Amino acid sequence: MIAKNQKGSGSKNFTIVCGENIGLTPVLGWNSWNCWGLSVSDEKVKASAKVMFEKLADHGWSYINIDDGWEDKRNGEGEILPNKKFPDMKGLSDYVHALGLKIGIYSSPGTLTCGGYAASYQHEEQDARTYAQWGIDYLKYDWCSYSQVAPPNPSLEDYKKPYFVMRQALNKNNRDIIFSLCQYGMGDVWKWGAEVGGNSWRTTGDISDNWGSLSSIGFSQDKSSAFSKPGHFNDPDMLIVGKVGWGPGLHDTRLTPDEQYTHISLWSLLSAPLLIGCDLSQSDDFTLNLLSNDEVLAIDQDALGKQARKMLEKDNWQIWVKDLDDGTKAIGIFNLGDKAGRETFHFSEIQLPEHLKIRDVWRQKDLGIFSSSFSGPIPSHGVLLLKVKTVL
Ligand code: GLA
């Protein structure tokens, strides 16, 4: 594809893949939970959708996902009804689709969701039909009260069962619905999430907006790396940048700017779904810039769908390396320590060849050709995100 205007021209290769496997790259979207929690409403969803359309859609962002808190009771026929904060779910879905975006919803396999609302147990087919009628494109399916349905010490088959049941129910409708498993990694879900038809699966408990939570979740993802592939991704939970709050009152994320660079870099290296957790209608320039660096997003969206491996851990430093589709590699050098420092790494330590052409991805700047080693200053809790190409 080539585009031209008076400022010049640019070209990009597009690959079109058809078939049963959907969601070939990790979802780029927004989810209501980390900002609004159970206080989510139709207006709040529309406000973030509008900003996604205006400011982020051109960078590939496309899903607007309603988390827990939309449900009411079932009617006489057993159909799930939205509560009064969502007066017209089909209308909301039409609004989101008219912006060129996609819409997601949330439920659980037990009788109640984590927030205590009606969930899908024994209504799976009915709910899947309702979602399809509303035009839903994505389902996040939790666990919560299903622990009262499953036996006390669930076997692997017990863990898989509710997800099989819902995937089958979704498949009965003529609609592509991304299926996002949310059971916090139980039974090593990364080993079988794809088998039950999951497009992504949470590998951890819930994240919160502080360095302890971010770093303990983000840097413990090496275990699941072999299982990431197109259409099936590990999910270390949603983003905690911008204004978050898990309820009606929001606050600025407690992450420092450098911790936020680390967050987006690491999640991109992990090929994680990127689900923005803040109120987009209140987002500042820093947050929007963080979410619209195309070279960073391209690492997350790389067609190979691989997850980075932790190749080096030394003192407070970690180096993660991700193979990319074009034969280059993305590298994150992370300073987990409390002080700024300079890390020199030898290419052989992370199994790279002698001569490398290196690009700083956040700054979108070529740094030159380096032989044997590279050294860069990195702030406390910060990152250098690089793209490297072998020079023969
Ligand atoms: C669980 C999930 C969260 C969110 C809440 C909703 O805690 O892990 O992401 O969906 O339930 O109640």
- When pLDDT is averaged across residues 82-98 and rounded to a whole number, the result is 98
What does pTM read for this prediction? 0.97
Q: With a 6 A CB cut-off, is 277 part of the ligand 1 pocket? A: no
Give the span between the Cα atoms of 275 and 202, in whole angstroms: 12
DSSP state of 308: P
Candidate of 140, 182, 235 to mutate for ligand 1, largest count of ligand atoms within 8 Å of Cβ: 182
Per-residue pLDDT, 15: 85
- When pLDDT is averaged across residues 363-369 and rounded to a whole number, the result is 98
**What does the pLDDT look like over 62-81, one tens digit per residue?**
999 999 999 999 999 999 99
Ligand 1 centroid–CA 323 distance in Å is 32
In this prediction, residue 346 has a pLDDT band, given cuts at 50, 70 and 90, of very high
72 catalytic per annotation: no
Report yes or no: 103 and 65 within 8 Å, Cβ to Cβ: yes
Enclosing H/E stretch for 157: helix 156-171
Candidate of 36, 38, 68, 140 to mutate for ligand 1, largest count of ligand atoms within 8 Å of Cβ: 68
CB neighbours (10 Å) of residue 288? 15
Ligand 1 centroid–CA 208 distance in Å is 12
142 catalytic per annotation: yes
Q: Does residue 63 sit in helix, strand or coil? A: strand
Candidate of 67, 189, 276 to mutate for ligand 1, largest count of ligand atoms within 8 Å of Cβ: 67
Among residues 72, 158, 188, 206, the one annotated as catalytic is: 206
Enclosing H/E stretch for 360: strand 355-360
As a whole-number percent, the residues of the chain with pLDDT over 70 amount to 100
The number of helices, as runs of H, and strands, as runs of E, in the chain is: 9, 22
Please state at what angle helix 211-218 crosses helix 257-269, rounded to 10 degrees. 20
Q: Residue 14 pLDDT more than 90?
A: no
Instruction: Label residues 149-159 b or e (16+ Cβ within 10 Å = b).
Output: ebeeebeeebb
Ligand 1 centroid–CA 233 distance in Å is 18
CB neighbours (10 Å) of residue 342? 9
Rg (C-alpha) for the chain, rounded Å, is 21
Per-residue pLDDT, 8: 95
Q: Give ∠ CA 107-161-275 in degrees, rounded to 5.
A: 40
Q: Determine the atom of ligand 1 nearest the C-alpha atom of 237.
A: 9
Ligand 1 centroid–CA 165 distance in Å is 20
Give the residue among 159, 165, 194, 161 at the shortest CA–CA distance from 180: 194
Per-residue pLDDT, 12: 83
Among residues 142, 237, 300, 302, the one annotated as catalytic is: 142
- Give strand ranges (E) for 217-354: 233-235, 243-244, 251-252, 274-276, 309-314, 317-323, 329-335, 341-346
Q: With a 6 A CB cut-off, is 68 part of the ligand 1 pocket? A: yes
Q: With a 6 A CB cut-off, is 182 part of the ligand 1 pocket? A: yes
Q: With a 6 A CB cut-off, is 69 part of the ligand 1 pocket? A: no
Q: With a 6 A CB cut-off, is 206 part of the ligand 1 pocket? A: yes
Enclosing H/E stretch for 375: strand 373-378
Instruction: Give the list of residues 6+ apart from residue 337 with CB closer than 8 angstroms, or none.
Output: 315, 316, 317, 380, 381
**What does the pLDDT look like over 180-200, one tens digit per residue?**
999 999 999 999 999 999 999
**What does the pLDDT look like over 250-288, one tens digit per residue?**
999 999 999 999 999 999 999 999 999 999 999 999 999
**What does the pLDDT look like over 292-306, one tens digit per residue?**
999 999 999 999 999
- When pLDDT is averaged across residues 377-381 and rounded to a whole number, the result is 97
Q: Does residue 123 sit in helix, strand or coil? A: coil
Report yes or no: 231 and 195 within 8 Å, Cβ to Cβ: no
* Domains assigned to the chain: 24-300 (3.20.20.70), 309-390 (2.60.40.1180)
Supply the residue whose CA is at minimum distance from atom 11 of ligand 1: 114
CB neighbours (10 Å) of residue 98? 10
Supply the residue whose CA is at minimum distance from atom 8 of ligand 1: 206
Report yes or no: 131 and 137 within 8 Å, Cβ to Cβ: no
The percent helix, strand, coil of the chain (3-state, each to 5) is 30, 25, 45
**Two tokens, residue 191:** 């080993």
At which residue do the structure tokens 């990790």 appear?
Answer: 26
Give the span between the Cα atoms of 319 and 373, in whole angstroms: 13
Per-residue pLDDT, 248: 97
Q: With a 6 A CB cut-off, is 32 part of the ligand 1 pocket? A: no
